[in-house]
Amino acid sequence: MQQYLLFSPEVAAARAAGTPIVALESTIISHGMPYPQNVETAREVEQIIRQGGAVPATIAIIGGKICIGLSDEQLELLGSAPHALKVSRRDLPFVVATGALGATTVAATMICAALAGIGVFVTGGIGGVHRGAATSFDISADLQELARTDVAVVCAGVKSILDIGLTLEYLETHGVPVISVGQAGFPAFFTRESGFQADFQLDSAEQQAAFIHTKRALGLQGGVVIANPVPALAAMPFEEIDAITSRALDEAAASGIKGKAVTPFLLARIKELTEGRSLATNIALVKHNAVVGARLAVALQGHAGALPRWS
């Protein structure tokens, strides 16, 4: 398995020194944001993680290797190459075997992070149960991955392009704890509140680390959602984002958008319909998540009795 992993010099040094590492996904770069803001944001997020005392490991599939930590040129390539494939669990062997350029989703990034021994992963929003899933069966593979892979995912909740209530039900069924930071409510990405509660509120990185440590010590497989609301000043008005989301969903249905194209279509359309304001919110929340993720990685590293699997 190790033959498929390629660590950047920075991440290799962190592994050798025992420095905390935070994984970052690359679909958010290739399919989640437009160029050049995507590459700028990726670099700034990495810098925030370094300032927090951890080392960033942005993950992508390049030249048949699972790259753990990317160079500036590789970030630029992922952000600008029109042919980068969106890689989830089912796509991973194809993209590695063929040497295609692949950007990893939350699901695939969790898999790669676990292979690399990284337990904390920062992103913007996770995938979930789509509205209308009862007939479309569209449920993101991110949720199954959370059910099985032992990585804590720091996000700003899920977008209301999804059915947030059903997403939380699905996570409950699969035993995935949903932890909120700084408030009881589960956030809805662009807005701080979704109208749903998280399972548990744990505000400090030490509390979150103790929870994760205990979960592992009990042998409970699977991930944890750490839901960190967008900073108030960067949040969007609920009514506005709600109306725009409905419109984007109607357009997706009318144009027959299906499968893995659904989420990128909705993200791009919401950005257009908000004249770019949704992008500013998106960037602000990812940066905020990076602060929380770096703190968590540092706290987990220092946690007495961290599991042997970790080293």
> Both tokens of residue 12?
């290799």
Give which of Mn ion, ligand PSU, none residue 28 binds (C-beta under 5 to 8 Å, depending on kind). Answer: ligand PSU
Kindly calculate the radius of gyration of the chain based on its CA atoms and give it in whole angstroms.
18
Residues 138-167 that bind Mn ion (CB under 5 A): 138
Among 68, 75, 122, 141, binds ligand PSU (CB under 6 A): 141
Longest dimension (CA), the chain: 54
Per-residue tokens: 250:
């109607």
Please compute, for residue 23, the number of CA atoms within 13 A of its CA located in the half-sphere on the CB side.
Answer: 32
Is 79 one of the binding residues for ligand PSU (CB under 6 A)?
no
Burial class (CB in 10 A: 0-12, 13-18, 19+), 269: buried
Which of 10, 76, 86, 159 does the annotation list as catalytic?
159
C-alpha 280 chain-centroid distance: 17
Q: Which of 131, 215, 260, 287 binds ligand PSU (CB under 6 A)?
A: 260
User: Is residue 105 involved in binding ligand PSU (CB under 6 A)?
Assistant: yes
Tell me 31's DSSP state: I
Name the segment binding ligand PSU (CB under 6 A); options: 21-29, 61-69, 238-246, 247-255.
21-29
Q: Is 267 in the site for ligand PSU (CB under 6 A)?
A: yes
Annotation marks residue 215 as catalytic: no
Q: Is 30 in the site for ligand PSU (CB under 6 A)?
A: no
**Which residues in the 39-78 window bind ligand PSU by CB under 6 A?**
none
Is the CB of 12 or the CB of 264 nearer to ligand PSU? 264
Distance of closest approach, residue 181 Cβ to ligand PSU, in angstroms: 18
Q: Residues 45, 66, 106, 154: which binds ligand PSU (CB under 6 A)?
A: 106
Backbone angles phi, psi at 109, to 5 degrees: -65, -40
The yes-or-no answer on residue 287 being catalytic is no
Residue 91 contacts which entry, ligand PSU, Mn ion, none (Cβ below 5-8 A, type-dependent):
none
Q: Pick out residues in 253-292 that bind Mn ion (CB under 5 A).
A: none
What crossing angle do the helices spanning 37-51 and 277-302 adopt, rounded to 10°?
A: 30
Shortest Cβ distance from residue 182 to Mn ion (Å)?
Answer: 30
CB environment 63-100: b (16+ within 10 A), e (fewer): eeebbbbbeeebbbbbbeeeebbbbbbebbeebbeeeb
What is the C-alpha separation between 114 and 223, in angstroms, rounded? 10
Our CB check for ligand PSU shows the closer of 161 and 297 to be 161
How many beta carbons lie within 10 A of that of residue 195, not counting itself? Answer: 12
Residues at the site binding Mn ion, with contacts judged by CB under 5 A:
138
The site for ligand PSU (CB under 6 A) is made up of: 25, 27-28, 32, 88, 105-106, 124-125, 127, 140-142, 159, 189, 260, 263, 267
- Catalytic residue annotation: 25, 159
